[in-house]
Structure 1
Amino acid sequence: MILSVYHPMGFEVRMPARINILGNPADANEGAHQTISAAVNIWAGLICRPAAEWTLTYLLRTGERAFQPAHSLALPQGRLPDYGSDFDLALAGLRRLLAHSPEFREKFPARPLSLSYWSDVPRQSGLGGSTLMVLNTLVAMVHWYELDRKRHNPYVLAELTQRAEEQELDITCGFADRYVPLFGDIAYLDYRGKLFHQPFQEEPYVTYEKLGHLVDQPPLVAVCSGIPHHSGDIHRPMRARYLEEYRRFQGDYEHAPFLVKVMKAIGDLAWKGKIALLQGELRRFGELMDENHHLVDQMMHYCGYREGAGEANNRLIHAAREAGALGAKLTGAGGGGSVFMLVEPGGEAEMARHLERKLIQFGMTEGHVYIPSLVHQGMVLLDQRE
């Protein structure tokens, strides 16, 4: 939801992180099929205040409601510098919005803002954290300049975010991370028609079907290994190989090239999981998660990743399954980042304690465990009255 109010002290935009529960990476990375994805209660925000000059600042959290500036970038007269700073994602969002919107070009850079970014999403954790900087920037500009809400609706902002990352910064990425934080909830997403990343509005928008009003919150536990990874680096060679095989695809999935066949099977897990989730069949849903992870691990071995989905990820998943998890898989790309587990209702705390012990046993000193809850509304925009 985007509010239309304005307060002279400024405002704050907050975006939740996402997890891909089933079907990834079929979000138009390797294959354009379906996923079940969810917004969860780990947040990144942007505090916007009127200022004499445009300034971008990174904030470090020092307390529950306290931050301190880490470093800043000045934009004299609103001029956007070349890429090469820690603010490239914000700059990419601004450039893509300027290229897209005549209204924004006319209004920017009047009424300068101080843009102060903070994030509780661990870096390179597989939770889509980097994308939140772009999304927060775009929503802030729409709100501050009172841009036409129909021409700058959430679907448009999600599509612009994907293009900001891919076309401005050469980050190989699909669409789940760009839609889920804006729309929120646990949802069934359909990406058909988006495989080739065509120019804006020359392909469909993602179909986003919220399920939160129909299903109970899945009992999930997530664990970040603390091992950094760049999802774009994981997806780049896999997407290139997928597209190469797709060009040889004759339409018969039974006899399709390996990646095309596997990604169709992974995407199909999402619609099967939707049925299981709606019927409250958690054990069946967990089985589908396990199958998703097995296929992704197999696919990554095929694409040359010696450890498949990643040794750390596989060890944590094995430990969770031994402790009774109903299912377990990656939250996003493999190689590092995070995994999550489906457990019996009420078993979240016990599984979390088990995984905390395993992190110590495995020497993953930078890792941590959390119990995610759904964020039904997605993006939040708040007046700053203090």
Structure 2
Amino acid sequence: IRVTRFLEKPQEGQTASQLASVVFYCIQRDTLSYMSDFLSQQPQTVGRAFGQFWEWLINEKQRHVFGMKLPTGFQLIGQVGLSDYTKWLTHYSTKQQGSPAKPITCRSYARVGLMGNPSDGFNGKTIAMTIANFWAEVTLLETQTLVLVPHPLNDPTEFGSLQDLFCISRKEGYLGGLRLLQATCKKFYQFCSKQGIALTKQNFTLKYDTNIPRQVGLAGSSAIVSATLKCLMKFYNITDNDLPKPIRANFILDVETDELSITAGLQDRVVQVYEGLVYMDFSKELMEEHGFGAYIPMDMSELPPFWLAYLSDPSDSGRIHSNVRQRWLSGELLVIEAMRRFAELTDQARMAFRDKDWSRLVQLMDQNFELRRSIYTDDCLGPGNLKMVELARQFGSAVKLPGSGGAVVGLCLDQARLVEMRRAFQEAGCVFCVISPYNPSASAVGGQH
């Protein structure tokens, strides 16, 4: 990281920066000549402090000086003696030999897309919400070696039979969440190296658990990556200044797309990083200028009773594989117009949330689904998804797909009909639940967020 300004023992209020320089410097040969110039300008010995030389070199001479963020608790600023070094050496040796550190546990939550274009890859707008019903949880414990613990259900290496292997592999895929932990750790190390952040030589054991249903478009994979990243940041004392939220969402996406070749977009990662109810604008101008969009948390008070239903066996859920993106890239007017209309619906929904106009939101959710249906077609949406949509409409509920397929999210303002609808979905072999929105400002508990 290039140091652009340096202040030697600044007065209180002189700078808002919390970065402090420790007493280790490496000077290139061609920089040494500047020292005699500095000394000639400081005839009085009182002005000949090494820190003041550094301040002059950076601020006045504008030499290229680079720093590396150290993860330790250095406080050796000012007049320092041998006793200070001894105290810190004792502190860290005691820490290593003493009682084991407490585990770090972090959660990230499933999300539902409530409004907007079917994918954020179209420079559109979306509104999504994290839900407390389903989550991924990662636990990190400092250990002598680095260990990634397989999940007993999602990462099995022993099976009762070939049929068991077939059923589990069809539902869970290969290596479940273990590859997500490994890819996140790899990408984290790479990121810190590029950013000039030195990591302590500490090892850890990572394990995960999740109750997010697989293959139904609720962002289960990115939740595991997000929770893993939270643990690593806490363990290595990486702050929001080092890895800001918009960049964190990009990081999580890169883990999945670059490392694991998972087809994914930014929407899920943004809402899981920010948490709560989030409006997202992925306009081309914003993405090209900043590398990320505009992400705006929304008020979550007095939300209506959203519900979620998903197929208990999503293997034939009609996961959406279509040519819509290719049609969009080639400039097909029908698709271009649909994406513009998705953005309009999202802005109207944002106003409905602001005004708590839930009957208006019901209309907008239905329009959102019909627009999606018009460009993706029924064949692409799949019979399972369409069956759930038609079932919800029999009870007068708004309904749409919250993700890539396998689940539906809806809004039913009639409490009596909501109870009837739950029974009908369950009788049809679906899992049904009333959504518990996850509000980060109301749910800051312990070390989980």
> Structure 1 residue 107: deviation in Å?
4.9
- The DSSP-based 3-state class of the residue aligned with 1:277 is helix
Q: Secondary structure at the match of 1:331?
A: coil
What letter matches 1:156 in structure 2?
I
The answer to whether the aligner puts 1:100 opposite 2:155 as a matched pair is: no
Tell me which residue corresponds to 2:346: 270
- 1:47, 1:381 → 2: CA distance? 15
Q: Which residue number in structure 2 is paired with residue 294 of structure 1? A: 370
Moved more, 373-382 or 113-122: 373-382
- Are the equivalent residues in 2 in contact too, given 1:184–1:377 (CA < 8 A)? yes
Counterpart amino acid of residue 17 in structure 1: A
1:154: Cα distance to partner?
2.1
**How far does the alpha carbon of each residue in 1:327-373 deviate from its partner, in whole angstroms, 9 at most, with x for none?**
11001113xx210110116x2x752552343343x4x3xx3111112
Aligned mates of 2:282, 2:401 — CA distance in 1:
20
Unaligned runs of 5+ in 1: 1-5, 61-67, 73-83, 247-255
Structure 1 Cα separation of the partners of residues 319 and 190 of structure 2: 26
Identify the residue that residue 343 of structure 1 maps to in structure 2.
412
Post-superposition shift, 1:173?
1.6
Aligned equivalent of 1:220: 306
Instruction: Tell me the percent identity.
Output: 23
CA apart distance, 1:121: 0.5
Q: Is the 8 A contact 1:212 1:376 kept in 2?
A: no
The answer to whether structure 1 residue 55 and structure 2 residue 147 are counterparts is yes
Relative to 1, partners in 2 of residues 1:160 and 1:352: Cα closer, same or farther, differing over 3 Å? farther
Match of 1:281 in 2: 357
Q: Which residue of 2 aligns with 1:204?
A: 291
Q: Are residues 1:261 and 2:329 paired?
A: no
Q: Check conservation: 2:318, 2:383, Cα contact below 8 A.
A: no
Q: Whose strand proportion is higher, 1 or 2?
A: 1
Q: Which has the higher contact order (CA 8 A, sep 6+)?
A: 1
Question: Any idea what SS the aligned residue of 1:307 has?
Answer: helix
Tell me, yes or no, if the aligned pair for 1:13 and 1:382 is still in contact at 8 Å: no
Partner residue of 1:333 out of 401, 404, 429 = 404
Number of equivalences: 333
CA distance 1:160–1:69, change in 2 (3 Å): closer
1:139-150 map, 5 Å: 139-150=230-241
Distance 1:383 1:261, change over 3 A: closer
CA contact (8 A) 2:223 2:272 kept: yes
Deviation track 1:219-272 (CA, whole Å, cap 9, x = no partner) reads 2111011243699973674333322x23xxxxxxxxx62211112111221001
Q: Is the 2:322–2:380 Cα contact (8 Å) retained in structure 1?
A: no
Distance 1:235 1:131, change over 3 A: farther
Matched, 1:16 2:109: yes
State the shift of 1:148 in Å. 4.4
CA distance in 2, matches of 1:50, 1:231: 41
> Is 1:184 paired with 2:253?
no
- 1:77: which partner in 2? none
Deviations 1:259-307 (A, max 9, x none): 1111211122100111122222212211111111111122212xxxx52
Q: Any unmatched runs of 5+ in structure 2?
A: 1-94, 158-173
Task: Measure the CA separation in 2 of the matches of 1:19 and 1:382.
Answer: 25
Distance 1:308 1:152, change over 3 A: same
Return the TM-score normalized by structure 1.
0.76
Measured at CA, do residues 57 and 105 of structure 1 come closer, stay the same or move farther in structure 2, by a change above 3 Å?
A: farther
Give the AA of the match of 2:433: Y
Distance 2:105 2:227 in 1: 9
> Could you tell me how far 1:153 is from its partner in structure 2?
2.3
Matches within 5 A, 1:304-383: 307-325=379-397, 327-334=398-405, 337-344=406-413, 347=415, 350-360=417-427, 362=428, 364=429, 367-377=430-440, 382-383=446-447
Contact 1:46 1:118 in 2 (8 A): yes
Q: What corresponds to 2:30 in structure 1?
A: none
Residues 13-52 of structure 1 deviation map (CA, whole Å, 9 limit, x = unaligned): 0011111000032422xx1121111111121100111222
Considering fraction of residues, name the structure with more helix. Answer: 2
Q: Name 1:252's counterpart in structure 2.
A: none
Task: Tell me the distance in 2 between the aligned counterparts of 1:231 and 1:165.
Answer: 22
After superposition, the CA RMSD in angstroms is 3.3
